[in-house]
Structure 1
Amino acid sequence: MADSAICFKRVDYSLDNLLNYIETGDIGLPDIQRPFVWKNTKVRDLFDSMYRGFPVGYFLFWANQSDDKSRSIGSGPKVHDVPNRLIVDGQQRLTSLYAVFRGQTVLDENYKKRQIEIAFHPRSGRFEVADNSIRRDPEWIANISVLWAEGQNSRKLINAFIDKLSEREALDEAEEERIADNIQQLINLKGYPFTALEIAENVDEEHVAEIFVRINSEGKKLNQADFILTLLSVFWHEGRLALEKFCADSRQPAQGKSSFNHFIEPDPDQLLRVSVALAFRRARLKSVYQVLRGKDADTGEYSAAVRDQQFAKLKAAQADVLNLTHWHQYLSALVGAGFRSRQMVSSELALMYGYVFYLIGRVELKVPEAQLQRLIGRWFFFITLKGRYSSSPESKLDADLADLRGITTATAFAELLESKMASELTGDFWDITLPFSMESSSARSPEFFAFVAAQNLLSAPVLFSHKKVSDLLDPAVVSTKESLERHHLFPKAWLVSSGIVEQRQTNQLANYALIEWSENIQISDDAPTAYLPPIREQFSQEAWQRMHQLHALSLGWETLGYFDFLKKRRSLIAKLVRQGFELLSSGGAGVCGGSSSTHAASDLDAAKERL
């Protein structure tokens, strides 16, 4: 195709024609699109705009002769097995319209089928997402899909709605006419006009993918991961499907081995980032997109041969990324580091970047698994505590990957990671920086998650309980209520009554402790000097003292002024976090079973003693 050639034409459709083309199979969906529809609120806004007569955008189609990778929208048999048109841009819009007008289910972001129910208020001409109150209210048509159901007579439907409304209140002629007109106006949306730009059938897949990227980069602002997933759909269809299957399987338990876990439900773009980092030692996806297209760095030309070579690297890396043994062994390293589930993950990106280092250590540098488990668990603890990838994550990972260049042995790999941790976790960090950073009220503070991980490693009991924190954080234990709750050691209501009203002060990280929900209810809003004595009677002196140590509480803390308490506890939390982190380097017992050797047990006892 010549660069100056016009490769598209304009075609006008009514919505009804588009829907019919979908049903007959004339319009299909190629795998260069993400398979998810909008949120219901966006579908509601789409119908509101159409109802008001506003323009809602155009579609981009690709004339097609044969494409065995395309799939049709909707379900049921098609007249045409191979679509004549493939939708390149506007799939979310068209799929949403088809789902509502034809009453079809769609796939949500968790790969589960759901119905889109948009409600209409004929008296005011207003749209809403249906909920239970709307479904019970005769003023609403709770699901507008009924308006276009097969065999439906619009006049009978309008009369039935008005009759039902009249049973509750008398309607004058003007009201009845306005309601009837509004419903009919909605029904007539099936004739809504759309314009489509149709790419010629002689345009190849690579150019179609490039058009898709260019159009969306101007409006939809897809990220670089979306661009690469587009290339996968065109040049490696099976790879894209494998990513989607892995993600779908991670969301529900299976009988056999699967990607399901208690830490993360990954999306294709997250897994893609790991594959790219493993294959090309790069975190910035923008440059990788050009590499995968086969662009020569020196000439700027694109080569199919170079593209195939780069995809071969990506394929090999993705095979390792999606390897279930690798996946679950990595996650077990997190458990061994005291992290139990997604409730303790402050950054999904950090979790996925940690997987990159596990794979490099296991697949490329052959680090013995037992050593790798401890090293990566320690590394994840470190990147969580430091929030290493929370700011400029791609730049930070690029720098870390660059430091790995030239590393060829398991020993050098371990030494590099250990040196990175040692250079940042200095004495000043533990004594000054960490306590200062805990002057926060963030509900998802990485410092708090590191604190709980350290408690798990040190076999801490739940505060005011004989049960272990790690046992009650076990994600396999399912109950109607969370086993543990964050408890304000100085209750919030008591603080407010004492004149401390700012949420940033009452919800300080150092004012929190994990206790059982039943105990939290009993404590209520009493001052700690009031609620603590009855609880103290339930424990021996040794148990009471150990509980205080492992919750970073000094004996007699309840008598301190609130701000003095916060300052002292921040320092104690930092010391406990340090003990937990240092325990990982000794190979001591962790929450996943760890070593039962005398050496490991003595290390654990020594760590607790130092507290």
Structure 2
Amino acid sequence: MSNYNVNNSTVNALLGWIDEGIVAIPEIQRPFVWSATKVRDLLDSLYKDYPIGYIITWQNPDARLKDGTVSHGKKILIDGQQRVTALMVAISGHEVLDGKYKKKRIKIAFHPEKEKFEVQNSAILKDKRWIPDIAEIFKPTFSSFNFITEYCNNNPGMNPDELNRIIQRLINIRHSTLGIIDLNHTLDIKMVTEIFIRINSTGVSLSQADFVMSKISVNSQHDGPIIRKTIDYFSHLIEHPNIFENIRVNDAEFSQTEALRKIQWLKDYNSNIYQPSYSDVLRVAYTFKFLRGPLSNLVSLLSGRDFETREFKDEIIESSFADLKDGVMQFVDETNFKRFLMVVKSAGMIDKKLVRSITVLNFAYALYLLLREQNYSSSDINHAVRKWIVASTLTERYSSSIESRFSADIKRFAKENPRDVIQSVENGEIGIIFCIYFTLL
């Protein structure tokens, strides 16, 4: 079986597949990072029939349902999200979110006589030679005849036949050819990443967390978008509490969920000791709920993979999403987070400058949540987590082989009394460190 298939499609077909849910674009609810001028340049390239690079999709596996039937997986857009979003903005008139989670339109204007694109501005709006928003041209109700008549009346020097040729060329942007690389669902993250880097002209790598977030966001049946947004919004709010109102107002659907109420405490929160990114949130929730380290395994579980039979089953998808959602909600819980921060401070880390590695805090929080779930007393939890922070910092335990370390340590804590685990490390690794230190003296 080939690792991938290469096909040609059109802009119109791709946007149609997205509207129909055949191809899922996971970044559509995240801030749009392209500038308006890059959107303009993309349209100019399509108008001039220049290539705009490949779009890469990753096929979700077909999962076997409980009744024996098969649910066909969606294709996830893993490269080309900014380009596709730009097309949705310019051609379909979609709004995007800016860095502060405010909705905005990016309007691209077109000058038929000069055959030139530009970002709409006040001067363009006053000049009748410009089409101020090309999204109007792509509407089903657009009439070329009426437009040409009106434009030529306002601009007598324009030849109607020439204008018709130019407008038809502009409309034909929808039929521009796109190359689509469909990656097989059997590929693991490592191989997908390698393919991505080799094809992507900028050489930008995707992290395992990026793939997980893509898998999460496209599964609406199991609250994937809610999980994704909870993670994403939390990691932004903890650094920028002032954007909460923008999220609440501009994401009406999410605002009606319990998830928003779980993270609304962040709007009044101010601490820089532990500011986890979305990948940190994912890793902590996954580590303590699944007792695993490699995020690549989470991608497989969210796809429904049975590691023994190598089949894909719907019940595994369902249980994996349920566990992940529970883990994320426990992570963002105000009481859990603030009590954990009290433990961190009691270990001497009262300022961000004293935190040598956020990875230490990530595992410590996973340990804290695990011990709470196992119903240990607050004093035992605080004692264990505090000592583990100190021990793992002294030994630089998570400076390398993070995933294997996380996996081994969390499994051990799940099976053994935390006091015994910590005592073992203190007697072994920390004892060796002090022996070496005093020998050097």
- 1:482-497 matches, within 5 Å, as none
Structure 1 CA distance for aligned equivalents of residues 147 and 363 of structure 2: 56
1:31–1:417: structure 2 CA closer, same or farther, 3 Å change rule? Answer: farther
Deviations 1:146-187 (A, max 9, x none): 665765865578779989xxxxxxxxx99x99x989985983
Q: Retained in 2: the 8 A contact 1:361–1:372?
A: yes
* Structure 2: gaps spanning 5 or more residues: 60-71, 238-243, 249-259
SS in 1 for 2:43: helix
Name the counterpart of 2:307.
295
User: How far does residue 311 in structure 1 lie from its aligned partner after superposition?
Assistant: 7.0
Name the counterpart of 1:28.
21
Q: Retained in 2: the 8 A contact 1:362–1:372?
A: yes
Find 1:359's aligned residue among 344, 369, 372: 369
Name the counterpart of 2:263.
258
User: How far does residue 374 in structure 1 lie from its aligned partner after superposition?
Assistant: 5.8
Name the counterpart of 1:372.
381
Name the counterpart of 2:418.
410
Structure 2 CA distance for aligned equivalents of residues 189 and 343 of structure 1: 56
Name the counterpart of 1:505.
none
Q: Retained in 1: the 8 A contact 2:24–2:76?
A: no
Find 1:55's aligned residue among 34, 51, 64: 51
Structure 2 CA distance for aligned equivalents of residues 352 and 18 of structure 1: 39
SS in 2 for 1:46: helix
- 1:465-544 matches, within 5 Å, as none
Q: Retained in 2: the 8 A contact 1:88–1:212?
A: no
SS in 1 for 2:408: helix
Find 1:97's aligned residue among 82, 87, 100: 87
- 1:124-139 matches, within 5 Å, as none
Paired residues, number: 374
Q: Retained in 1: the 8 A contact 2:340–2:365?
A: yes
* Structure 1: gaps spanning 5 or more residues: 63-83, 164-172, 200-206, 433-611
SS in 1 for 2:368: helix
Q: Work out whether 1:282 is the aligned partner of 2:282.
A: no
Q: Retained in 1: the 8 A contact 2:219–2:225?
A: no
- 1:167-178 matches, within 5 Å, as none
Deviations 1:509-557 (A, max 9, x none): xxxxxxxxxxxxxxxxxxxxxxxxxxxxxxxxxxxxxxxxxxxxxxxxx
Q: Work out whether 1:116 is the aligned partner of 2:132.
A: no
TM-score, normalised with respect to structure 1: 0.45
Q: Retained in 2: the 8 A contact 1:32–1:231?
A: no
Structure 2 CA distance for aligned equivalents of residues 119 and 424 of structure 1: 69
Find 2:326's aligned residue among 313, 319, 324: 319
User: Amino acid of the residue matched to residue 194 of structure 1?
Assistant: T
SS in 2 for 1:258: helix
Deviations 1:31-64 (A, max 9, x none): 58444575224544532432332123358699xx
Compare relative contact order (CA 8 Å, sep 6+) and give the higher one, 1 or 2: 2
Structure 2 CA distance for aligned equivalents of residues 326 and 18 of structure 1: 43
Structure 2 CA distance for aligned equivalents of residues 109 and 239 of structure 1: 24
Moved more, 232-241 or 270-279: 232-241
Larger Rg computed on CA atoms: 1
Structure 1 CA distance for aligned equivalents of residues 311 and 222 of structure 2: 22
Structure 1 CA distance for aligned equivalents of residues 154 and 420 of structure 2: 76
Structure 2 CA distance for aligned equivalents of residues 103 and 278 of structure 1: 42
User: Amino acid of the residue matched to residue 423 of structure 2?
Assistant: E
TM-score, normalised with respect to structure 2: 0.58
Name the counterpart of 1:223.
207
Q: Retained in 1: the 8 A contact 2:57–2:181?
A: yes
User: Amino acid of the residue matched to residue 241 of structure 1?
Assistant: P
Structure 1 CA distance for aligned equivalents of residues 220 and 163 of structure 2: 52
SS in 1 for 2:228: helix
Identity over the aligned pairs, expressed in percent?
22
Q: Retained in 2: the 8 A contact 1:246–1:259?
A: no
SS in 2 for 1:322: helix
Moved more, 186-195 or 229-238: 229-238
Name the counterpart of 1:46.
42
User: Amino acid of the residue matched to residue 319 of structure 1?
Assistant: D
Q: Retained in 2: the 8 A contact 1:209–1:231?
A: no
Q: Work out whether 1:190 is the aligned partner of 2:196.
A: no
User: Amino acid of the residue matched to residue 102 of structure 1?
Assistant: S
SS in 1 for 2:91: helix
Deviations 1:305-334 (A, max 9, x none): 7x9569747744652442224344324434
Structure 2 CA distance for aligned equivalents of residues 218 and 212 of structure 1: 11
User: How far does residue 302 in structure 1 lie from its aligned partner after superposition?
Assistant: 0.6
